């Protein structure tokens, strides 16, 4: 255990270091851990036990010094986050070997991260200098709303307040959220709207029944302006997170290209992108039923129904839901997927094209990254850890 006074002093020291206010001796105290780790690897590739001890000590000091402090977020500003970024490269089918420990302080956007780097012992890229010929900003809040009459509203630039009225339903924009306020209990004409998020944008929507929807990049949702009849049905492409308002007499149904998810009142993530090999519904709380052809699966919290797009078969998995819904908290979960899927996420969020030359590199990445950093921040760290790529205009080509 670290003494409380020691933690307090360390927290203050790191805070000053990140602001460039430490003395040379204080800066050396923090940086010596990094220097020792890198030098240890260069001197003795076999001394992984000592190196691991250094990593654990550094992890303890940093995590107990900063990570326990909850960041305070003020609208319009970015508060410091401590984000673990763990990068691994497979060196044999079931094994891993540690090769270095690094502390990375990223000042752009007020984002700090630390991590353990692990590289293929036969493929260490010594002294590699990151080089990013072009950059791309992160995605932002924005979407295009298509009304029942075909009129389109760009929500990025639309002012706050009432945007339109459809029947007895008002469309109200407030603080980056579109809300449908309905006074109708019955209607003879059902009007449908569609919200679409291009690559590089995401948006929040509150339906007329109070259901809240987070729409991820390159996605869409088609929905009625007011719900009537025996069910509440919407159609989604891409990915969305929903907190469904409870109404036992009117079940909520989400239709995608491959299956439908039926709920009464719950919180869940649904993902069905056309370029992904599988679709998935992940339950955070409540209960849902996934229906695909003759397959019917009922989920409990912490379970994920995965549908193979090629076969139409549904399988059930227990998962950690936090990485799945990290995007709703402006985070990119690096450990919940393989490299190819991660690159597709980056493509959608940063609005760039990413392709692979030859086979997909056998690299796994763990951790959580703030989605508000620029693309170069992501690529530089990946390049330092063995990922090779080149660029052609707005396309990133991942090399073997």
Q: How far apart are CA 271 and CA 236, in angstroms?
A: 9
pLDDT bracket for residue 270 (50, 70, 90): very high
In angstroms, rounded to a whole number, what is the distance separating the alpha carbons of residues 100 and 220?
43
> Topology of 140-324 in CATH?
Jelly Rolls (2.60.120)
The pLDDT value given to residue 305: 96
Residue 379 is predicted with a pLDDT of 84
Q: Is the predicted pLDDT of residue 37 greater than 80, yes or no?
A: no
- Whether 263 contacts 288, CB under 8 Å: yes
Inform me whether the pLDDT recorded for 68 exceeds 50.
Answer: no
Asked if 266 and 289 count as a contact pair (C-beta separation under 8 A), the reply is: no
278-285/288-292 β-pairing: unpaired
Contact 304, 319 (CB under 8 A): yes
Distances (CA, A) of 145 to 141, 165, 178, 203, 226: 13, 13, 10, 11, 16
Band of residue 81 on the pLDDT scale cut at 50, 70, 90: very low
Q: Between 274 and 98, whose confidence is greater?
A: 274
Task: Report the pLDDT averaged over residues 211-240.
Answer: 96
How many whole angstroms separate alpha carbon 115 and alpha carbon 233?
44
Residue 14 pLDDT class (50, 70, 90 cuts): low
Q: Is the pLDDT of residue 44 over 60?
A: no
pLDDT digits (tens, 9 = 90+) for 125-135: 333 344 445 78
Instruction: List, in sequence order, every residue forming a beta bridge with 103; answer none if it has no partner.
Output: 114
pLDDT at residue 199 in the model: 96
Residue ranges of the domains in the chain?
A: 4-133+332-398, 140-324
Do 305 and 296 form a contact (C-beta atoms < 8 A)?
no
Q: Could you tell me the fold of the domain covering 4-133+332-398? A: Phage tail protein beta-alpha-beta fold (3.55.50)
The residues that bridge with 203 in the sheet, in sequence order, are: 215
**Residue 27: per-residue pLDDT:** 66
Task: Say yes or no to pLDDT of 80 above 50.
Answer: no
Angle 117-120-124 (CA atoms, 0-180°, nearest 5)? 80
pLDDT at 231: 93
Structural tokens at position 294: 């003759």
Distance, in Å, from the CA atom of 339 to the CA atom of 348, rounded to the nearest integer, reads: 14
DSSP state for residue 92 in the 8-state scheme: B
What pLDDT shows up at residue 364? 73
Q: Give pTM, 2 decimals.
A: 0.67
136 pLDDT more than 70: yes
Task: Give pLDDT, residue 102.
Answer: 31
**In this structure, how many other beta carbons lie within 10 angstroms of the beta carbon of residue 66?**
20
Which of these, 360, 346, 333, lies nearest to 394 by C-alpha position? 346
Tens of pLDDT, residues 193-214: 999 999 999 999 999 999 999 9
Contacts of 237 (CB under 8 A, 6+ apart): 219, 220, 256, 257, 272, 273, 274
Here the tokens at position 81 are 């986050």
Largest CA distance in the chain: 79
For 101, left (φ over 0), alpha (ψ -120 to 50), or beta?
beta
Q: What is the DSSP letter of 185?
A: S
CB 248 within 8 A of CB 268: no
Per-residue confidence (pLDDT) for residue 303, from 0 to 100? 96
C-alpha distance from residue 370 to each of 79, 112, 143, 367 (Å): 11, 9, 21, 10
Beta strands 212-215 and 232-243 are antiparallel
Rg of the chain in Å (alpha carbons): 24
User: In b/e form, how buried is each residue of 36-64, taking b as 16+ CB within 10 angstroms?
Assistant: ebbebbeeeeeeeeebeebbeebbebbeb
**Tokens describing residue 130:** 């990151």
**C-alpha distances in Å from residue 170, one per residue of 163, 181, 220:** 8, 5, 20
């Amino acid at each position: 255990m670290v003494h409380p006074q020691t933690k307090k002093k360390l927290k203050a020291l790191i805070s000053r270091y990140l602001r460039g206010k430490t003395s040379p001796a204080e800066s050396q105290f923090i940086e010596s851990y990094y220097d020792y780790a890198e030098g240890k690897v260069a001197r003795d590739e076999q001394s992984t036990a000592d190196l691991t001890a250094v990593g654990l000590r550094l992890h303890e000091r940093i995590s107990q010094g900063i990570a326990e402090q909850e960041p305070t977020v003020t609208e319009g500003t970015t508060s410091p986050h401590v984000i673990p970024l763990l990068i691994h490269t497979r060196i044999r089918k079931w094994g891993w070997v540690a090769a270095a420990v690094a502390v990375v302080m990223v000042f752009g956007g007020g984002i700090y991260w630390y991590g353990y780097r692990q590289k293929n012992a036969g493929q260490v890229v010594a002294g590699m200098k990151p080089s990013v010929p072009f950059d791309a900003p992160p995605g932002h809040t924005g979407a295009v709303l298509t009304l029942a009459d075909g009129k389109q509203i760009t929500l990025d630039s639309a002012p706050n307040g009432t945007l339109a009225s459809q029947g007895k339903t008002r469309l109200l924009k407030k603080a980056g959220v579109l809300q449908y306020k309905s006074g109708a209990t019955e209607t003879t004409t059902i009007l449908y709207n569609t919200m679409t998020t291009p690559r590089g944008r995401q948006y929040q929507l509150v339906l007329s029944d109070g259901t809240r929807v987070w729409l991820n990049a390159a996605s869409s949702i088609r929905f009625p302006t007011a719900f009537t009849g025996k069910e509440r049905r919407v159609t989604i492409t891409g990915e969305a997170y929903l907190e469904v308002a409870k109404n036992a007499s009117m079940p909520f149904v989400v239709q995608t290209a491959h299956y439908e998810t039926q709920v009464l009142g719950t919180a869940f993530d649904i993902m069905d992108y056309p370029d992904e090999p599988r679709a998935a519904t992940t339950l955070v709380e409540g209960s849902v039923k996934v229906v695909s052809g003759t397959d019917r699966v009922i989920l409990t919290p912490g379970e994920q129904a995965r549908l193979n797009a090629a076969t139409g078969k549904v399988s059930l998995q227990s998962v950690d839901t936090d990485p799945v819904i990290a995007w709703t908290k402006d985070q990119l979960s690096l450990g919940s997927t393989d490299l190819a899927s991660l690159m597709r996420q980056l493509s959608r969020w940063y609005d760039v094209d990413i392709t692979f030359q030859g086979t997909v590199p056998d690299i796994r990445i763990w951790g959580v990254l703030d989605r508000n950093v620029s693309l170069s921040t992501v690529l530089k760290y990946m390049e330092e850890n063995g990922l090779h790529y080149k660029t052609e205009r707005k396309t990133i080509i991942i090399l073997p």
